[in-house]
Amino acid sequence: MASVSIENVTKKFGELEVIKGISVPIADGEFVILIGPSGCGKSTLLRMIAGLEEISGGTVAIDGKMVNNVPAKERDIAMVFQSYALYPHMTVRDNMAFSLLLRKARKAEIEAAVTKAAETLGLTELLDRLPRQLSGGQRQRVAMGRAIVRDPKVFLFDEPLSNLDAKLRVQMRTEIKALHQRLRATTVYVTHDQIEAMTMADKIVVMKDGHIEQVGTPLELYDNPANLFVAQFIGSPA
């Protein structure tokens, strides 16, 4: 378990400031959704939490440790993207084992972790398949499997369902939530889909042009939108 503290964070690409002083406290085990229009800075903020993007100002800390001071291999973070980026020539098993191999885990430990993750995600029967032999939903599950084998303290998702069809999206929402109930890992989940946000989040952060418009529970945002932007954004269909 881990808390994530985002304090007065800014990000500049050259002269262009794309994150303009964002502060959000995220509690242990919380499921937080970042939502906002395309280009508002969601992915950039998520990448800064992951330590994948230099922070121009302010701080991001996980359990009190500044992310940019922790070497990449020691960061207890897993990130799941919209493009699954599975290794095409590796089986499901090897895809899931790979990050543990990189960390020089022992063979028995790797096997145990992969077996457990496969059970959690319903992938046991598929361990010997290659990515091209899987459906979109199964691939997305393998991408999550790769993330959970390391037993990360923090999960980061960047629009993980946007390549799936509508029916599968609904099913995967439920699966991701169930996974969160089981693992209780602190989760930051980026989407531009209001329904995803309203149905999955403990707390929603509504962003626009690099700043926060409102933070609240789904019910708070629904009942008391801070302004017209939030009202329209939350109220309009995806």
Q: How far is the CB of 10 from ligand ADP (least distance, A)?
A: 12
Q: How far is the CB of 43 from Mg ion (least distance, A)?
A: 3
Q: How many CB atoms lie within 10 A of CB 45?
A: 27
End-to-end CA distance of the chain: 32
39 binds ligand ADP (CB under 6 A): yes
Applying CB under 6 A, which of residues 2, 24, 33, 40 lies at the interface with ligand ADP?
40
Which entry of Mg ion, ligand ADP, none binds 87, CB below 5 to 8 A by partner kind?
Answer: none
Residue among 40, 85, 47, 34 nearest 191 (CA): 34
182 close to 214: Cβ distance less than 8 angstroms: no
13 binds ligand ADP (CB under 6 A): yes
Q: How many residues bind Mg ion (CB under 5 A)?
A: 1
CA 228 – CA 13 distance, rounded (Å): 29
Q: Of the two residues 41 and 134, which places its CB atom closer to Mg ion in the complex?
A: 41
Q: DSSP assignment, residue 29?
A: T
82 binds ligand ADP (CB under 6 A): no
Residues 22-61 that bind Mg ion (CB under 5 A): 43
Which entry of Mg ion, ligand ADP, none binds 39, CB below 5 to 8 A by partner kind?
Answer: ligand ADP
- With tokens 């019910």, the residue in question is 219
42 binds ligand ADP (CB under 6 A): yes
Sign of dihedral through CA atoms 94, 117, 62, 5? positive
- The three-state secondary structure class of 10 is strand
**H helix or E strand, kind and range, residue 4:** strand 4-13
Which entry of ligand ADP, Mg ion, none binds 69, CB below 5 to 8 A by partner kind?
Answer: none
Buried b (16+ CB within 10 A) or exposed e, 98-115: bbbeeeebeeeebeebbb
Q: How far is the CB of 38 from ligand ADP (least distance, A)?
A: 4
Q: Of the two residues 118 and 161, which places its CB atom closer to ligand ADP in the complex?
A: 161
Rule CB under 6 A: which residues touch ligand ADP?
A: 13, 18, 36, 38-44
Query: Which residues here bind Mg ion, judged by CB under 5 A?
Result: 43
